[in-house]
């Protein structure tokens, strides 16, 4: 199921573009993310790079952490953009993280005819689950 973007989703994309435009730093911050929770709150963040590349943290993870710190992780929509403001799909780890915190979340991704919103579960077939 692919959905065209609502005005709220378009505003979310613009927020992600604003955060990376303000905070881009070569070699340190190259992805911006914005998410909106079902309560209407918006959280935006940038990717954190490190000298040791394997400890980099994705912008999506930081935005989700900000939402968690505020006690509001019921994500309605989330989007990431690169330094040029182009929408980019989340990496596999972020897909897992988004689906863990908000299995009904919509993720804005590049599509055949422009940006579109898709359910996170469509981006993560056969999701890993723990045996509890």
**Known catalytic membership, residue 26:** no
Which H or E run contains 14? helix 7-23
Where do the H-state alpha helices sit in 54-119? 59-69, 92-101
Estimate the share of the chain in helix, then strand, then coil, as percent rounded to the nearest 5: 35, 30, 35
Which residues lie closer than 8 Å to 56 by C-beta, 6 or more apart? Answer: 47, 48, 49, 50
| CB distance 60 to 88 below 8 Å | no
Which residues lie closer than 8 Å to 51 by C-beta, 6 or more apart? Answer: none
- Considering 8, 49, 60, 96, which one is annotated as catalytic? 60
Catalytic residues: 60
């Amino acid at each position: 199921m692919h959905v065209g973007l609502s005005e709220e989703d378009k505003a979310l994309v613009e927020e992600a573009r604003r955060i990376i435009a303000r905070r881009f730093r070569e070699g340190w911050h190259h992805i911006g993310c914005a998410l909106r929770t079902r309560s209407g709150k918006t959280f935006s963040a940038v990717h954190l790079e490190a000298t040791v590349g394997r400890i980099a943290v994705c912008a999506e993870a930081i935005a989700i952490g900000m939402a968690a710190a505020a006690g509001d992780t019921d994500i309605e929509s989330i989007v990431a953009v690169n330094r040029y403001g182009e929408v980019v799909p989340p990496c596999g780890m972020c897909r897992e993280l988004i689906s863990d915190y908000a299995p009904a979340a919509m993720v804005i991704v590049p599509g055949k005819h422009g940006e579109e919103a898709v359910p996170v579960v469509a981006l993560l077939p056969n999701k890993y689950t723990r045996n509890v």
